[in-house]
Amino acid sequence: MVEHVDGRVLWANLHLLFWLSLIPFVTGWMGENQFAAWPVALYGVDLLFAAVAYFLLTRALLAIHERDSILATALGRDFKGKVSLLFYAVAVPLSFVNSWFALALYVFVAVIWLVPDRRIERTLAQ
């Protein structure tokens, strides 16, 4: 679906990969500290920055494709991406109130993304 990329897309992709590469570190720290507030918050910050990086990557891709391209049509309003940002932004400060509620929000976002997204398949089938 992506017809071409430019430097901005490559940098946005590296930005996303950087935040994803930190997930094993913050996950391990969170587990070693029995889900204390600071490790859970830092885990959420990493997830939040990864979500921001994903958002920036999609915007960079959309910027170099036509408004009616297959990619733009398939992404649509990107509801999952925006909801993820919102839930992560809420969960980070919530981790200092109750880390288990924050973890529940992280799991909820993961479940949202586990549900298969058929936007691309539907767009290609049309």
Q: HSE on the CB side for 109, CA within 13 Å?
A: 23
Residue 124 has a CB neighbour count (10 Å cut-off) of 11
Sorted by where each begins, the domain ranges of the chain are 7-125
Residue 6 has a CB neighbour count (10 Å cut-off) of 12
pLDDT in tens, 34-75: 999 999 999 999 999 999 999 999 999 999 988 888 878 778
pLDDT above 70 as % of the chain: 98
